[in-house]
Chains A and B, each alone.
Chain A
């Protein structure tokens, strides 16, 4: 065989190495065609050919995989786009529906014509100037019907009538009947055991009406859950930002009630502080300690600094704050016990495994949480206003303290105390809007007053900057590696952003631009971390489309567009 043949010179074999040039015939005729060298050369050739084919096949296979992956991504993208489009459509529909509802509202209100109501409604007139003039709408037949229904429910005062349609509208979307939802607040108030707070509710329906007048707030609330509720369809209400803090049982009615409840909580907290002061008059042990504890918390919040995550630069402060809260829980100074329902959004039932299930907690504890919340807000207003990135450290501590089970009540955090303050100082993140040129509008936007005058525009802008940054610092926290759950998860941030962005162009105010920019600036990475591509789309809406649709291009609006440019310049993130 091959071995028997004498080896040929390397010269030959090298000739065979390039066989392409010779014809097949000459191959046969060649005398040493059966030589070992030739044999090897052919084998080599075959091997190479084999390799080539294999390589091609492999490349083809890789290519196929890539194409497959691309197709999958494309499909996914188109599915996402389709979903977003549908959700946007739905949002638009809802908004339109809400608008129609709001318009219809006017019809009952005219006959009722209540003098006390008039003042809050003026805002509505400002918002929707055309409403009164065009009372008849194609859909009007359905809504009038609904309005009477809720009225027949009976509990509602006439004052509530304008509100109801909107509430009813939310109810329509759900399978549940409209009757209980008709006046959610009233029912909630009835159910609630906290007697003191029932007085405020009586007034709050009015305020609630005022809020409800802004149909966009409601509409956007409906709209925004969708974009990030990838898994669930739009009918599920629990995707709402505030869901975490609330029970899912009464989702639809909650939306309108929430803002007012916060104001009530805010008022209750004020009363609480007054009562604490009164207690110190008779309780020397409390007096001796309370002031020091208060100042200690304030100092600790003021000491927080930014640094590398996990570096523990604020450890002492956190320990200190938690220590003070624990001391308050122990209630060594014998402060009175109070019902925490006064300061939470919704009544709570005892929960298995919760650290505190009692119907009452020491008032000093709630007071200290309140002082803590005040210190946080004040730090945002006084420090983050000048240097927004300082909000981050405060946000971390705020989220982690409220998330701590020790300081929760019946299984949920008491962060409503902090949110109530937020609601008062920065209402735009709760979907409120107004015209800065009007007294009432400024009030709705949370424009601060000192004495009996408004603070300057610049101070206002500073405040909003600090509070916007603070809101982001609290909400955009990643708790995925933590054993605790986020007391105010990022969905709230999305909600707030959506509420601002979805403001109808004529209602867009500088305040919203201030807050929006502050919410975004410096928090982009955390936001994108939480929401990925959807976040990108949201940023585009906020920084490109929102300023574009604003009717007046004030420096504040322009600053939003400028921020998009800055992002492109500094991070390469192009939103345009």
Chain B
């Protein structure tokens, strides 16, 4: 068997190496090197078990060289030296098509022709810089165009060929928030289903909340808008009429409802080819959902292809995940690479709990804000903040567990459409919700977990701030601290992910405004800030 491991760098400045080992102890080093910038810190690994399908794939094969003839010495265990040797190049430096920044910068002074490399179709780098290279059906291409997708993101570029290879193989994929995970698996779903059978469920997507399920349904419908006979249905509480089965080529649902439908034989699973679990760490970890997911899986055909996606995969969940999706290709991120560079993370030092309200309202004058999300701990504070902000002229939606199904849908629709621009919510919506115009996330309360909120909730923090900075846009996250506990919790989070949090103070707003301005400027100017995105 092969074991193959690749560090792949997010965004445009990645440089990486695939290591393989055959049973004959014949070392094969495979290298992917688009361009050589900032290799030291931003690694992300693809661990590929089973190389057989991989090597045959045209898009990646074009980048693979066999260094056995050139560098026979590098045969160490790849896992221990993922990045260290990646700098010496086997392949010529390449320019990443999805982001032409690099070359422009390097010829800064005068007008210089920059795109020699881009135009060179023989350059290995040229491979998958366009959706055209992914060989998708024309209807899907049209859908992507209409949706303003221009170029594939890293996760799409990497994961899609693996997901679409035959025979189908499981996959566990991790990528930062707002980098196109949904787009990636939606493309896989659309490519796998047979449109001539619109009422026969062929792909099942599970998501942790009704909002997310509806959102995924929307994405499938938008990208597939030119596919005739595409039928996508949601299986969430209150939507599927009792006594009536669910029919559609793709079904998106929450685990509980899906399980009920299958048990009642109202959901024909016999021809399901694909099971996608979004926010997989959450879905497999939580007692209730994890249990339900396993039960759903047991009712599905045994040879179904399983795809697990999330921005976070804590170690203890990863072991579950590997059992859940055996033999899977894996794309993993290092802990320090989890945060999105486009999000400027700051914290506001509030004098005390009560002044948080006033500080909150002041924030909206500091910078240009489209929509914003405020995360609070309790429903009560959500309601109070809502009143305060409405008095200040904001159009606010407060969405939390106190509202039931359809009302929640309506509230979120208001926010999505821009009829309200401030969303106050609890952790219900920390994950997955994609409203592209969100430019600020406020942690009004620092996310905590455990008994008596004893420890900071790292993953939730990451998912929360991931509601902004979507698809390479810039965003701001501001966390409120007001006492030692909140300060300590935030410091731990910052340490955990290796973030430099910038302090803001409510004493002199002129000064704070200036500081925010500088932070935003420098965040965007950072060389390593590069959107790993597709959406134009």
Contacts and interface: CB of A to CB of B under 8 A. Distances in A.
A331 interface: no
Given A458-B531, A558-B145, 13 more contacts: A298-B365, A299-B365, A302-B421, A303-B364, A303-B394, A379-B370, A383-B439, A386-B370, A439-B108, A440-B110, A453-B101, A462-B473, A562-B145
Instruction: Please name the 7 residue pairs, one residue from A and one from B, whose CB atoms are nearest each other, closest first.
Output: A295-B365, A451-B525, A383-B370, A386-B436, A438-B111, A378-B368, A461-B536
Contact of A456 (B101, B417, B420, B421): B101
Interface stretch (B39-47, B112-120, B303-311, B376-384): B112-120
Interface string B454-489: 000000000000000011111000000000000000
B464 to A, nearest CB: 19
Interface of B: 12, 99-101, 104-105, 107-115, 130-131, 142, 145-146, 148, 150-151, 362, 364-371, 393-395, 417-421, 436-437, 439, 470-474, 509-510, 513, 521-522, 524-525, 527, 530-531, 533-536
Contacts of B110: 439-440
A456 B103 CA distance: 11
B524 A450 contact: yes
A555 B142 contact: no
Contacts of B142: 562, 565
29 contacts: A291-B510, A294-B365, A295-B362, A295-B509, A298-B365, A299-B365, A302-B364, A302-B368, A307-B419, A317-B393, A379-B368, A383-B369, A383-B370, A387-B436, A390-B370, A450-B525, A453-B101, A453-B108, A456-B12, A456-B530, A459-B531, A465-B536, A514-B536, A555-B131, A555-B151, A556-B150, A559-B146, A562-B145, A563-B146
B535 A387 contact: no
A183 B146 CA distance: 47
Interface string A424-457: 0000000000000111111000000011111111
Nearest to A521: B148
- Main secondary structure, interface of B, reads loop
Nearest to A313: B395
A390 B418 contact: yes
Nearest to A461: B536
A301 B108 CA distance: 36
Given A299-B365, A306-B419, A379-B370, A438 B531 contact: no
A382 interface: yes
A316 interface: yes
Contacts of A461: 150, 536
B368 A375 contact: yes
Interface string A292-312: 101110111111011100000
Nearest to A302: B369
Contact of A320 (B99, B393, B420): B393
B486 to A, nearest CB: 26
A524 to B, nearest CB: 15
A87 interface: no
A461 B472 CA distance: 12
Nearest to B535: A458
A152 B104 CA distance: 43
Contacts of B474: 382
B470 A386 contact: yes
A404 B111 CA distance: 44
A453 B509 contact: no
Residue among B112, B417, B436, B536 with most chain A CB within 10 A? B536
Contact of A302 (B114, B150, B370, B470): B370
A462 B533 CA distance: 12
A385 interface: yes
Nearest to B150: A555
B423 to A, nearest CB: 13
A395 to B, nearest CB: 14
Interface string A363-405: 0000000000001001101110111011000000000000000
Contact of B393 (A126, A316, A565): A316
B418 A306 contact: yes
Contact of B105 (A303, A441, A453): A453
A459 B475 CA distance: 13
A439 B111 contact: yes
A72 B201 CA distance: 58
Interface centre among B142, B470, B474, B510 (most CB of A within 10 A): B510
Contacts of A514: 536
A298 B509 contact: no
A566 interface: yes
A122 interface: yes
Interface residues of A, number: 60
Contact of A439 (B104, B115, B150, B362): B104
Contacts of B365: 292, 294-296, 298-299
Contacts of A437: 113-115
B439 A305 contact: no
Nearest to A308: B419
Contact of B111 (A122, A458, A566): A122
Interface string A207-223: 00000000000000000
A441 B421 contact: no
Contact of B418 (A305, A320, A382, A458): A305
Contacts of B145: 555, 558-559, 562
A537 to B, nearest CB: 24
B418 A455 contact: no
A383 B369 CA distance: 7
A295 B366 contact: yes
Contacts of B533: 458
B14 to A, nearest CB: 15
A306 B513 CA distance: 27
Contacts of A465: 148, 536
B115 to A, nearest CB: 5
Contacts of A298: 364-368
Given A313-B395, A383-B437, A555-B145, A454 B418 contact: no
Contacts of B536: 457-458, 461-462, 465, 514, 555-556
Interface string A454-476: 11111101100100000000000
A317 B421 CA distance: 14
B169 to A, nearest CB: 30
Given A298-B365, A559-B145, A458 B115 contact: no
A386 B150 contact: no
Q: Which of A292, A306, A438, A458 has the most CB of B within 10 A?
A: A458
A390 B437 contact: yes
A2 B364 CA distance: 97
A438 B368 contact: no
Contacts of A558: 145
Nearest to A304: B421
A236 to B, nearest CB: 39
B205 to A, nearest CB: 24
B290 to A, nearest CB: 34
Contacts of A559: 145-146, 148
Contacts of A563: 146
Contact of B472 (A299, A300, A456): A456
Given A306-B418, A387-B418, A450 B473 contact: no
A295 B368 CA distance: 10
A389 B418 contact: yes
A300 B368 contact: no
Contacts of A313: 395
A20 B382 CA distance: 89
A328 to B, nearest CB: 16
Contacts of B108: 439, 452-453
A563 B145 CA distance: 9
B107 A439 contact: yes
A55 to B, nearest CB: 49
Contacts of A316: 393
Contacts of B472: 456, 458-459
Contacts of B366: 295, 298
Contacts of B104: 439, 442, 453-454
A438 B509 CA distance: 41
Contacts of A462: 473, 536
